[in-house]
Chains A and B, each alone.
Chain A
Amino acid sequence: MSSVQPDLNSEYRDKRKDAIKRVIANMTVGKDVSGLFPDVLKNMQTEDLEQKKLVYLYLMNYAKTQPELVILAVNTFVKDASDPNPLVRALSIRTMGCLRAEKIIDYLSDPLAAGLQDDNPYVRKTAALCVAKMYDLKPSLAIDRGFVETLQELVGDPNPTVVANAVTALTDIHNSPHPDSPGFIIDRDILNKILVALNECTEWGRISILSALCRYTPTEEKETEYICERVLPQFQHANGSVVLSAIKVVMINLQRLQREDFIRQLVRKMAPPLVTLVASEPEVQWVALRNINLILQARPDVLSSELRVFFCKYSDAQYNKVEKLDILVKLANENNVDTLLNELKEYASEVDVDFVRRSIRAIGRCAIKIEDAAERCVQVLVDLINTKVSYVVQEAVIVIKDIFRKYPHSYEAIIPTLCENLEEIDEPESKASLIWILGENAEKIVNVEELLETYLDSFIEDSYPVQLQTLSAIVKLFLKKPEGPSQSLVQRVLTTATSDCDNSDVRDRAFIYWRLLSTDTGAARSITIADRPPIVIPNLTVSRAILEELVQEISSLAAAYHKPASTFVGKGRLGIESIKKINPNEENENISKQKALNTVAQGVKAENLLDLDEDASPSTTQSPQESFNSFTANTATSNINHAPSPAQSNPVDDLLGLFGNATVSSPSQSVGANNDIFDMTTTNNTQGQNKNSGLEDLLF
Chain B
Amino acid sequence: MISALYMMNSKGEVLISRLFRPDIKRSISDIFRVQVVSNPDVRSPIITLGSTSFFHVRHNNLYIMAVTKCNALAALVFEFIYKFIKVCTSYLGNLIEESVKNNFVLIYELLDEILDFGYPQNSEIDALKMYITTEGVKSEQAIREDSSKITSQATGATSWRRADVKYRKNEAFVDVVENVNLMMSAQGNILRADVDGQILMRAYLSGMPECKFGLNDKLVLERSDRTRIVDDSALGGAVELDDCQFHQCVRLGKFDTDRTISFIPPDGEFELMRYRSTHNVNLPFKISAVVNEIGRSRVEYTIRIKANFGNKLSANTVILRIPTPLNTTEVKCNAPMGKAKYVPDENHIVWKIPRMQGQTETTLTANAELTSTTTRQAWSRPPINVDFQVLMYTSSGLSVRFLKVFEKSNYQSVKWVRYLTKSQGSYQIRF
Contacts and interface: CB of A to CB of B under 8 A. Distances in A.
Interface stretch (B45-53, B229-237, B337-345): B45-53
Nearest to A665: B49
Given A281-B78, A574-B71, A633 B48 contact: yes
- Which one of A236, A276, A568 has the greatest number of beta carbons of chain B within 10 Å? A236
A85 B273 CA distance: 36
Given A122-B155, A349-B378, A657 B50 contact: yes
Interface in A151-177: 159-162, 165, 168, 172, 175
B43 interface: yes
Contacts of B109: 50, 53
Interface residues of A, number: 127
11 contacts: A94-B112, A122-B152, A172-B117, A203-B79, A281-B78, A389-B378, A555-B73, A565-B70, A569-B70, A636-B48, A665-B49
A654 B43 contact: no
**For B70, B71, B150, B247, which residue has the most chain A Cβ atoms within 10 angstroms?**
B71
Interface in A270-284: 272-273, 275-276, 279, 281-284
Interface in A176-201: 199-200
Interface in A620-677: 632-633, 635-636, 639, 645, 651, 654-655, 657-659, 661-662, 665-667, 669
B70 A234 contact: no
Given A49-B140, A129-B116, 5 more contacts: A24-B104, A202-B120, A283-B55, A389-B377, A654-B50
Contacts of A525: none
A276 B43 contact: no
Interface string A117-136: 00011110110010011001
A204 B123 contact: yes
Interface centre among B108, B121, B143, B196 (most CB of A within 10 A): B121
Interface stretch (B163-171, B202-210, B379-387, B391-399): B379-387
B322 to A, nearest CB: 13
A204 B159 CA distance: 13
A545 interface: no
B367 to A, nearest CB: 23
A275 B253 contact: no
Contact of B45 (A199, A282, A339, A351): A282
A291 to B, nearest CB: 8
A636 B133 CA distance: 42
A639 B53 CA distance: 13
A556 B71 contact: yes
B297 interface: no
B79 A241 contact: yes
B73 A211 contact: yes
Given A159-B156, A553-B71, A236 B108 contact: no
Given A232-B256, A241-B76, A313 B428 contact: yes
A2 interface: no
B117 A129 contact: yes
A273 B27 contact: no
A645 B151 contact: no
B117 A286 contact: no
A241 B73 contact: yes
Given A48-B137, A87-B131, A199-B251, A236 B245 contact: yes
B119 A208 contact: yes
B246 A236 contact: yes
B46 A54 contact: no
A536 interface: no
Nearest to B271: A238
Contacts of B12: none
B49 A655 contact: no
Given A208-B119, A233-B252, A314-B382, A570 B76 contact: no
Interface in A452-491: none
Contacts of B120: 202, 204
Contacts of A165: 119, 121
Given A161-B155, A272-B276, A557-B72, A635 B48 contact: yes
- Give the residue among B69, B151, B256, B430 with the most A Cβ atoms within 10 A: B151
Contacts of A90: 151
B283 to A, nearest CB: 15
A199 B248 CA distance: 9
Interface in B9-29: 13-17, 19, 21-22, 25-27
B74 A281 contact: no
B191 A343 contact: yes
B75 A284 contact: yes
Interface stretch (A25-33, A492-500, A593-601): A25-33
Nearest to B51: A569
Nearest to A572: B70
Contacts of A243: 245
B48 A557 contact: yes
A272 B245 CA distance: 10
B143 A665 contact: no
Contacts of A350: 380, 382
B69 A569 contact: yes
Best-buried of A244, A279, A342 by chain B (most CB within 10 Å)? A279
Contacts of B116: 94, 126, 129
A568 B51 contact: yes
Contacts of B108: 24, 53-54, 57
B147 interface: yes
Q: Max chain B CB contacts within 10 Å: which of A21, A203, A389, A657?
A: A203
A105 to B, nearest CB: 13
A199 B430 contact: no
A202 B124 contact: yes
Given A236-B252, A238-B274, A639 B155 contact: no
B13 to A, nearest CB: 8
Contacts of B119: 129, 165, 168, 172, 204, 208
Contact of B122 (A30, A202, A276): A202
B264 interface: no
A324 interface: no
A311 interface: yes
A240 interface: yes
Nearest to A348: B380
Nearest to A123: B151
Contacts of B53: 557, 568
A84 interface: yes
Query: Which of A87, A288, A388, A389: most chain B Cβ within 10 A?
Result: A87
Nearest to B138: A49
Interface centre among A85, A240, A283 (most CB of B within 10 A): A283
Given A28-B15, A97-B117, A122-B154, A313 B426 contact: yes
Contacts of A570: 51
B31 A659 contact: yes
Contacts of B140: 47, 49
Contacts of A123: 151
Contacts of A203: 79, 123, 248
B404 interface: no
Interface string A586-612: 000000000000000000000000000
Contacts of B70: 175, 565, 569, 572, 574
Given A168-B119, A199-B253, A85 B143 contact: yes
Nearest to B119: A168
Interface in B57-115: 57, 68-76, 78-82, 104-105, 108-109, 112
A313 B44 CA distance: 18
Nearest to A210: B73
A387 interface: yes
A276 B276 contact: yes
Task: Give the interface centre of B26, B78, B131 by most chain A CB atoms within 10 Å.
Answer: B78
Nearest to B160: A202
A244 B73 CA distance: 10
Contacts of A645: 51
A558 interface: yes
Contacts of B82: 281, 284
Interface in A208-254: 208, 211, 232-234, 236-241, 243-245
